[in-house]
Amino acid sequence: MKNTVRIWALASVAAVLSSIAIAQNTPDPRARSGEPVMGASGHITIAPNPLPTYAPVTDEQLRKPDPNDWIMMRGNYEGYGFSPLKQIDKTNIKGLQLVWSRGMETGINQPTPIVHDGVMFLGNPNDVIQAIDAVSGELLWQYRRNLPDVSKIFSGHWGQRKRSVFLYGDKLYTVTRDNFLVALDARTGKQLWQVNRGGDLYATNTTGPIVVKGVVVAGATCQYAPFGCFVTGNDAQTGKELWRNYVIPKPGEPGNETWGNQPFAKRQMTGVWGPITYDPELDLIYYGSSGVGLAAEGQRGNFGATMAGTNTRFAVKPRTGEIVWRHQVLPEDNWDQECTFEMMPITTAVNPDPKAEGMMAVGRRAKSATRRTLTGVPCKTSIMWSFDAAKGDFLWAKSTAVQNLVNKIDDKGKVTINPDMVMTDIHKTYSICPTHAGGRDWPFSAYSPQTNVMYVQMQNLCTDIKVRADNIPSKLPDGYNVLGVAKLSEGHSGIGRIDAISVETGRTLWSWETKATNYAPILATAGGLVFNGALDRYFRAFDQTDGKVLWQVRLGSHVSGAPVSFSKDGKQYIAVAAGGGFGGGNSPRLFPQIDQPSGSNMVYVFALP
């Protein structure tokens, strides 16, 4: 029966192709940008202690960050999440203690403190941005956006979180819950201009923008949207849109034929909500797209369709938006596996070990004494991939967390999914690994240039999942229209996990596990340490070489933000936010005996005595 269905799907492609000439004249419903609006309307700024001086952030500083700053979300353009500071190290970490803490706005709290010249720029939930003295915790200024009524924001809770803001020149840039790109005066918090990126309150942004050579680049989240999303490039001085890349092809565009019989108006929810990294050597930005709603092709009806644009890694010129290469790392997604997470440009020897645990494929002529690679774990499947960063040639891929969605990958990087897990039957329950929350999810990995190792946060979770057949035809925000009950992966006794994986060989050097999920980003430092938080409220420091816990402290609620390190007046600090995270709901259910409270958002700063 399955083969019959797939033959029908292929036959229907011919009909779609024959209508392309007509479809090219179909009105394009995709979101469009507005024009920049200058001035300070639509917000409230207070500035009890505006910065008397402010050193503008230059292109050179962004390419080669000052180790004393944490100048962008992952510390550098490449996304390493690594601090060169080493005053705090394995020999003295036990002496780390709290210096100050400060309450934050309520809501989903997953921020990265950005630090420049001793000033912390902190994004709070619901578009409240603060400049804080990074040594004392004193408020310098605060910006609060006047958002539309929540009932009119159709993107749900997604845009509530503020994972990062970006500093460039004398400005601070952010993308708001109502999907405006906004520029603030970094010294005072005063709004300088704003531009509506479009989407009629269905599109939003969760991760924040980056700025490359005067272009503000930002993705978009379309989790509840009746369309696919986009990436934009705007002039950093004026806000004028320079380019816009949509991820889902429309009729008449390359890749449209891969969507089978699914009409363009029903191709929904695919976005680019993960981190955007940049390679200063190659002058390329990299981003990945997510999956599609509806999740199950038994409900979508486009049986066997690989759906170009979904779960794809793109390499793009930042000035023009020109796509240099792309690679689909998961076709025919039926499981919300969202391949939008960071991949990092890394110069390394390439010697993938075919016998390494989990190694799925090694590319032709992959081995090299040195090569500029793009490496990371882009999907919830938790498969680690490595490509040639310049050309996109496939180098190697290995499975990490338990997964049964991908059967094989060939030596060119072509993926074959597991046909038994494709949700063609809307009345059947499928036992899939991992869940829609991973495997890995958004919490950022870290890479240490000292060890040439990537440290990846994961979850040992599977699920029994089925279509909500009683909810057909489903409507947004039930975009995926599936229900599942998570369970521990076979062979594991806890959810939380960190894997240390060699970027050269693909070998897993160590793996650490814990009962409660450690659903939070990772920081690596030159002091030989790895920092990570968890839902059990512990903020921990590990030995990079073996994963041994060297220090831990229990905070007021679960650790949900990205830890960072900075220095002022010769003293190194570690900062992290905790509180209202999102995505760890399975942890309290599976381990109710562990205290895992949410809420009470705070930012904490630590240092040695």
Two tokens at 94? 């036990």
Which class is domain 37-64+124-229?
A: mainly beta
Q: Are 235 and 242 in contact (CB under 8 A)?
A: yes
Query: What value does the mean pLDDT of the chain take?
Result: 93
Please give the pLDDT value at position 42: 82
pLDDT at residue 20 greater than cutoff 50: no
- What are the E-state strand segments in 219-275? 230-235, 241-246
Which residues make beta-bridge pairs with 551?
541
Q: Quote the pLDDT of residue 18.
A: 33
For tokens 């993308």, the residue is 175
| pLDDT tens readout for residues 233-251 | 999 999 999 999 999 999 9
For 300-350, how does the pLDDT look when each residue is reduced to its tens digit (9 = 90+)?
999 999 999 999 999 999 999 999 999 999 999 999 999 999 999 999 999
Q: Mean pLDDT throughout 91-110?
A: 97
Q: Which residue has the higher pLDDT, 473 or 94?
A: 94
Q: Is the pLDDT of residue 1 over 60?
A: no
Q: What is the pLDDT of residue 28?
A: 58
Q: How far is CA 503 from CA 119, 411, 460, in A?
A: 34, 18, 22
Largest CA distance in the chain: 73
Q: Which of 144, 275, 268 is nearest to 205 (CA)?
A: 275
What is residue 68's DSSP assignment?
T
What's the average model confidence in pLDDT over 100-122? Answer: 97
Q: What share of the chain is helix, strand, coil (3-state, %, to 5)?
A: 10, 35, 55
384: which residues sit within 8 A by CB, 6+ positions away?
A: 375, 376, 377, 397, 398, 400, 454, 456, 501, 506
Confidence of residue 142 (pLDDT cuts 50, 70, 90): very high
Q: How confident is the model at residue 108 (pLDDT cuts 50, 70, 90)?
A: very high
Q: What pLDDT score was predicted for residue 12?
A: 33
β-strand partners of 37: 194
Q: Which pLDDT score is estimated for 346?
A: 98
Domain positions in the chain are 37-64+124-229
Pairwise pLDDT comparison (71 vs 224), residue with the higher score: 71
Q: Is the overall model pTM greater than 0.85, yes or no?
A: yes
**For 342-384, how does the pLDDT look when each residue is reduced to its tens digit (9 = 90+)?**
999 999 999 999 999 999 999 999 999 999 999 999 999 999 9
- Residue written as token pair 């369309």: 227
How sure is the predictor about 3, in pLDDT bands with cuts at 50, 70 and 90? very low
Sequence-distant (≥ 6) Cβ neighbours of residue 107 within 8 angstroms: 124, 125, 126, 160, 161, 580, 601
